[in-house]
A and B are shown apart, each in its own frame.
Chain A
């Protein structure tokens, strides 16, 4: 059901639905944020890492003498030294292994080979350049296709049972039913496309300050971490440190977008160095290190097909995916799903059958990947189906909007079980798309397009109506290396009625300090500004799996609502005690219990909180505190419809966005201002990928895009202006009906931009283009058609 809700609380309380200004902003606008690089500890040393210039090479020898002799150098660390401590290799989030510092050979350009610890970062850099490594270059594998060739060299010679370069073979859905549907199809629509490698490139690079106290044995590790608790456990497993002696502090994070989910070799080396030297060690990545070595995303070669009946209805879908995993399989995704959640690829459409096959291959590229503002490969899945939907419409001569309307899952079909086994919780796709079409006056827009073509101007209209799956997840299905994907909230209400909320998730700019306080405000009537939200310090927050895959609100937000409700239940008992009434005779209004029929007789939550510590009923535990671990019953399924209008200059191949109208339905919006900000950001990243932003490699495995001059991030000048719309279809199973929003626009929008450019070029006979749609690609497509 689609509703737009009025807030239940007053603006003073600032519960759900209020655009409360962000609490965290006060420090950021005054330069008072504390990012990892801002952490300065007494006697702190600085680390620099030597990177491999080759994509694939044997290491013959490493000579560190000249580096060690530089005044100010404290130590030079090699893989050999780490091996003595059993630290030369580490586990990845997907259960593979990854070299910390290379010992046998290097497997991608930029791989970590050695490190220098020095008194000063300038000196560390001077010295690291003096390390002399003798490499014997090997033939590099720069694509998964090449990696599968019969005579391809084996990249993972370190793994005894690895006889080829295949990482995994995986499938989902019903192959027989899908084949049967395709056999009966009136039309079959096919698409082969490549979703290029991309990098989240948060403006703050990854960094660590490792501080192992040689006397107490306590390891305090300041880390750019989206998942500090999981990282603590990994550190315990990797380094063999007792977990109670590890404290991960993830302070302010300058953007994450998935890039700060994995553990990186530099973190391990800095920690080992601090352990060996007995002093704090800081390592801050250069931008090049960030782009060359850390969690990339995508790199999926995809083949998709739709089977259509005579009316244009989709009866089945096939998808075949070949994934470039780089040298070490370091995907951040649930253990059970080797290819992530790419089997959500049936998208917003009702079809009887689907079959997905995925194969991952090792190559001589940086290990990964991460999801990059996406819930475990939903981005690729959504892109494939939305490209196919447009192609299908054009192939059968139907308008792309009408084709979608015809094939959407209908509102009355929810909860809807997809052909690959997801149970969509709720949705109203028709209303969403119709609202967008109305906003742009779609029919008229198509006429304008016609008229423009007559004048030699090439306008294009692209639609994408995505369905996302977020909020991992139910612990029966979702875990990361065995850690179940629940999340937690601990709420402490102080005697004066102020509160502190501690969470297992970790904000990187999403505004948790405001949003989660609003959930408590909603449930307890305590003004959101009276609630401090704490995250990121594993000594002081309950265990959780962290923030990525749009899971904070679906999981951490639910935990928050439920613990607040539990405390409200207790508050009711205290209020009854104070009011000398039967608890069942009390009614709740935001911030206050009162006696039914006697609204004057009541106790505010602040009075109740005070009583919890000063005058609690006999037999009741004192205090008003609690913790809840929330295990979601299902995922949530945000959706939306996006429409893009572009104008293409066929002579130069450049294109610009005239309009970008985005409707998002993320269920209940806790803070509309923050939700819109998230959508703006996601739409920009979708635009970036469609227009300019990709990581590519030459045939030697050299990364083209190892700095911000070559890895292109759009500025305000190129970025489109966005027009936002909304519908609200609450999640029926989430305590407050919210679904998660940070990633939807990155997931949904790339296909809209691409469909628009292709649409503009249809008069030239262009039917496909791959991202990024670079001017030369447009030019070549137009020339080819001429």
Chain B
């Protein structure tokens, strides 16, 4: 299949890209990894009139530690995240399950985050770890908490002329652990259900911070706030995790489709949350 015709700007610097995006307004679309955008264009589900290709911009591909967080640049590919020595367990667990190995060589974490596909993995991970998204435009930079960034079904909170230039994953304050459990039908498939788990333990072993976020079971990646509230401040136990798992399942409102009925998906959320909390705890205590 072939995309519709479009115009392109091959930006050589970030400033050039931002100026062009400002200029184009609604008509402009950033081309980073392109692994979601190009298939949509080939199927003519998307037909942007002007692409701003950022792939040749230097220094956007970094994955580095800065000021208590891991910074992932706009051109860091999923494969770069897989290879990097990532301290955050949730990120490390999710990276190998994004798309397939060849797509991971091209697709970018920031691009996936901006795409806001509710079946995408990264936004659940970022919700669980309470990441921040850096949006840059020709008039400056905004640091957006992930909860505000992920707005709706395929909808982010970027404003006209802005692009995602960086994602920030905070480091664990104490002993931390995390996991990402994904039910997919085969490699390369989107999640039928996935659950991102994040735990940060206080010195006394109680849960200081918890993240539970769900993929593909709502119209947008979702934080299971009730599950988190059950966990925070308490000592980890099987009973606690089971209660949190029930709360996480209650936060899922999936559709019944070819991948299974809603009750099934909700139950997998429960099972995955319970299992993910146990493995996150083990990693935190390791």
Contacts and interface: CB of A to CB of B under 8 A. Distances in A.
Interface of B is mostly: loop
Interface stretch (A190-198, A600-608, A713-721, A723-731): A713-721
B226 interface: no
A780 B259 CA distance: 13
Interface in B133-168: none
B258 A696 contact: yes
Contact of A709 (B4, B189, B272): B189
B259 A776 contact: yes
Given A126-B4, A704-B258, A775-B260, A715 B268 contact: no
A286 interface: yes
Interface stretch (B26-34, B107-115, B180-188, B236-244): B180-188
Given A286-B1, A652-B268, A775 B183 contact: yes
- Kindly name the residue among B5, B185, B192 whose own CB sees the greatest number of chain A CB atoms within 10 A: B185
Contact of B183 (A286, A654, A715): A654
15 contacts: A121-B2, A125-B1, A126-B4, A129-B44, A286-B1, A692-B186, A709-B188, A712-B185, A715-B187, A774-B260, A775-B192, A776-B264, A779-B260, A779-B264, A779-B267
A6 to B, nearest CB: 42
B68 interface: no
A778 to B, nearest CB: 10
Interface in A623-661: 651-654
A286 B183 CA distance: 29
Interface string B249-277: 00000000011110010011001100000
A718 B267 contact: no
A710 interface: yes
Given A715-B188, A779-B260, 4 more contacts: A286-B1, A654-B183, A717-B186, A776-B260
B100 A715 contact: yes
Contacts of A776: 259-261, 264
Contacts of B44: 129
Interface of A is mostly: loop
A170 interface: no
Contacts of A696: 258
A122 interface: yes
Interface string A105-137: 000000000000000011001100100000000
A122 B267 CA distance: 46
B258 A710 contact: yes
A125 B264 contact: no
Given A122-B2, A125-B1, A129-B44, A715 B186 contact: yes
A776 B192 CA distance: 10
A710 B2 CA distance: 20
Interface string A694-713: 00100000001000011011
Contacts of A715: 100, 186-188
Contacts of B189: 709, 712
A125 B3 CA distance: 9
B186 A714 contact: yes
A712 B192 CA distance: 13
Contact of A717 (B2, B5, B183, B187): B187
A430 B282 CA distance: 51
Interface string B66-84: 0000000000000000000
A125 B2 contact: yes
Interface residues of B, number: 23
A595 B268 CA distance: 78
- Kindly name the residue among A121, A288, A779 whose own CB sees the greatest number of chain B CB atoms within 10 A: A779
Interface of B: 1-2, 4-5, 44, 100, 183, 185-190, 192, 258-261, 264, 267-268, 271-272
Nearest to B260: A776
Interface residues of A, number: 27
B186 A780 contact: no
Contacts of A654: 183
A171 B158 CA distance: 66
Interface of A: 121-122, 125-126, 129, 286, 288, 651-654, 692, 696, 704, 709-710, 712-715, 717-718, 774-776, 779-780
Q: Which 7 A-B pairs have the closest CB atoms?
A: A776-B260, A776-B264, A122-B2, A715-B187, A651-B271, A717-B187, A125-B2
Contacts of B260: 774-776, 779
A506 to B, nearest CB: 28
A718 B186 contact: yes
A756 to B, nearest CB: 19
Contacts of A651: 267, 271
Nearest to A779: B264
Contacts of B4: 126
Contact of A652 (B183, B185, B187): B183
A121 B5 CA distance: 13
B186 A652 contact: no
Contacts of B186: 692, 712-715, 717-718
Contacts of A775: 183, 192, 260, 264
B119 to A, nearest CB: 11
A712 B188 CA distance: 10
A712 B186 CA distance: 7
A651 B188 CA distance: 23
Nearest to B257: A704
Contacts of B258: 696, 704, 710
Nearest to B261: A776
A712 B100 CA distance: 14
Nearest to A777: B260
Contact of A780 (B1, B190, B192, B264): B264
A669 B261 CA distance: 47
Nearest to A692: B185
A196 to B, nearest CB: 12
Nearest to A289: B1
A723 B61 CA distance: 44
A576 B156 CA distance: 88
A774 to B, nearest CB: 7
A650 to B, nearest CB: 10
B252 to A, nearest CB: 14
B1 A652 contact: no
A397 B264 CA distance: 33
B271 A652 contact: yes
Nearest to A654: B183
Given A704-B258, A780-B261, A718 B2 contact: no
A269 B190 CA distance: 37
A210 to B, nearest CB: 21
B271 A718 contact: no
Contacts of B2: 121-122, 125-126
Nearest to A653: B264
Nearest to A651: B271
Contacts of A121: 2
A654 B4 CA distance: 40
A649 to B, nearest CB: 9
- Kindly name the residue among B1, B44, B261 whose own CB sees the greatest number of chain A CB atoms within 10 A: B1
Nearest to B3: A122
A714 B184 CA distance: 12
Nearest to B181: A652
A126 B268 CA distance: 43
Nearest to B275: A651
Nearest to A694: B258
Contacts of B267: 651, 779
Contacts of A125: 1-2
B187 A718 contact: yes
Contacts of B272: 652
A106 B100 CA distance: 37
A37 to B, nearest CB: 14
B106 to A, nearest CB: 17
A81 to B, nearest CB: 25
Nearest to A124: B2
A46 to B, nearest CB: 10
B48 to A, nearest CB: 16
Nearest to A688: B186
Contacts of B183: 652, 654, 775
Contacts of A718: 186-187
